[in-house]
């Protein structure tokens, strides 16, 4: 088994250490987002257990923030779930990108590794597998990256929940959520090619106009309009650089 625990502890341990070392800067970068998600969960009124539990169960910061923002404006559950699906669709691409490298692991371990997948784990993993295709311990490396990132993320958001519970009201702290999204959006736009800019611009414009639609459906209408506009632009003007996800995911700013 490639890099599995049975092929000698030393190679496995070395792979884990290599992963942890590569993940260190990512762990630092993730702490603010984890804190913000924790604080935001309390700000929109989730009970303490749910505010903490969300980060452990969903474990996907951007979609959690989006859900919290939608809860704050009173969206129905269906809109929140479709938004979760859209925002986390990229994980299916990552899953496809990583599958061949992690196939040596048994099914239960693959399920755990899938659960621990983040933008950062995918970015570091595929970078290492591309740079050093001959180096073994691929599973160990992935675990070395993904487990510490998971621990840091859940801990930071738990701390955020506990801090948030003690913050005074009336500071408009809920405004922090759109500011975080603004950062992520700007990063996605700046990293992207022209069809991505078209997608973002159209989605933003449609979202403002479609805002009066009931059940916050404007969000979904705008998202699909933006995606369609991006595809249309790409077909007219030639393809965007391969969307594989790697280049988009290296900002170290999203879980």
| Interatomic CA distance for residues 153 and 134, integer angstroms | 31
Return the number of the residue (14 or 83) whose C-beta is nearest other proteins: 83
Closest CA to 252 of 21, 30, 88, 31: 30
Q: Which residues between 132 and 151 bind other proteins (CB under 8 A)?
A: none
**Residue 103 near other proteins by CB under 8 A:** yes
Q: Which residues between 147 and 186 bind other proteins (CB under 8 A)?
A: 171-173, 175-186
The angle that helices 9-43 and 61-72 make with each other, rounded to 10 degrees, is 10
Smallest gap from Cβ 248 to other proteins, in A, equals: 7
Smallest gap from Cβ 147 to other proteins, in A, equals: 15
Smallest gap from Cβ 223 to other proteins, in A, equals: 5
Q: Which residues contact 199 (CB under 8 A, 6 or more apart)?
A: 192, 226, 227, 229, 230, 233
Tell the burial category of 190 from Cβ atoms under 10 Å away from its Cβ (0-12, 13-18, 19+).
exposed
Closest CA to 157 of 255, 69, 45: 255
Q: Left, alpha or beta for 32 (phi > 0: left; psi -120 to 50: alpha)?
A: alpha
Q: Which positions from 218 to 247 touch other proteins by CB under 8 A, shown as an x/- string? A: xxx-xxxxxx-xxx--x----xx--x-x--
**Residue 3 near other proteins by CB under 8 A:** no
**Residue 195 near other proteins by CB under 8 A:** yes
Q: Which residues between 53 and 72 bind other proteins (CB under 8 A)?
A: 53-54, 57-60, 63-64, 66-67, 69, 71
Q: How many residues belong to the site for other proteins (CB under 8 A)?
A: 102
| Interatomic CA distance for residues 56 and 33, integer angstroms | 14
Smallest gap from Cβ 10 to other proteins, in A, equals: 26
**Can you tell me which of 14, 98, 137, 145 binds other proteins, judged by CB under 8 A?**
98
Return the number of the residue (13 or 221) whose C-beta is nearest other proteins: 221
What does the radius of gyration of the chain's CA atoms come to, in whole angstroms? 19
Q: Which residues between 22 and 41 bind other proteins (CB under 8 A)?
A: 32-33, 36
**Can you tell me which of 24, 28, 48, 99 binds other proteins, judged by CB under 8 A?**
99
């Amino acid at each position: 088994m490639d890099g599995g625990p049975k092929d000698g502890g030393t190679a496995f341990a070395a792979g884990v250490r290599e992963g942890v070392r590569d993940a260190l800067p990512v762990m630092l970068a993730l702490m603010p987002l984890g804190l913000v998600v924790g604080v935001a969960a309390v700000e929109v009124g989730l009970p303490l257990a749910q505010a903490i539990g969300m980060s452990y169960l969903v474990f996907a910061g951007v979609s959690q923030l989006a859900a919290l923002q939608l809860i704050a404006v009173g969206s129905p559950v269906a809109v929140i779930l479709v938004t979760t699906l859209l925002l986390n669709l990229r994980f299916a691409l990552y899953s496809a990108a990583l599958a061949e490298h992690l196939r040596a692991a048994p099914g239960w371990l693959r399920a755990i590794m899938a659960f621990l997948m983040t933008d950062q784990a995918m970015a570091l993993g595929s970078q290492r597998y591309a740079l050093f295709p001959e180096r073994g311990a691929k599973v160990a490396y992935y675990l070395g990256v993904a487990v510490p990132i998971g621990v840091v993320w859940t801990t930071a958001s738990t701390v955020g929940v506990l801090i948030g519970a003690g913050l005074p009201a009336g500071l408009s702290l809920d405004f922090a959520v759109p500011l975080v999204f603004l950062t992520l959006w700007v990063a996605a736009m700046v990293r992207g090619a022209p069809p991505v800019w078209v997608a973002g611009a159209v989605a933003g414009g449609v979202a403002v106009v479609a805002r009066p639609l009931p059940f916050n459906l404007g969000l979904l209408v705008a998202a699909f309009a933006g995606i369609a506009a991006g595809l249309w632009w790409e077909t007219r003007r030639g393809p965007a650089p391969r969307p594989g996800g790697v280049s988009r995911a290296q900002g170290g700013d999203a879980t």
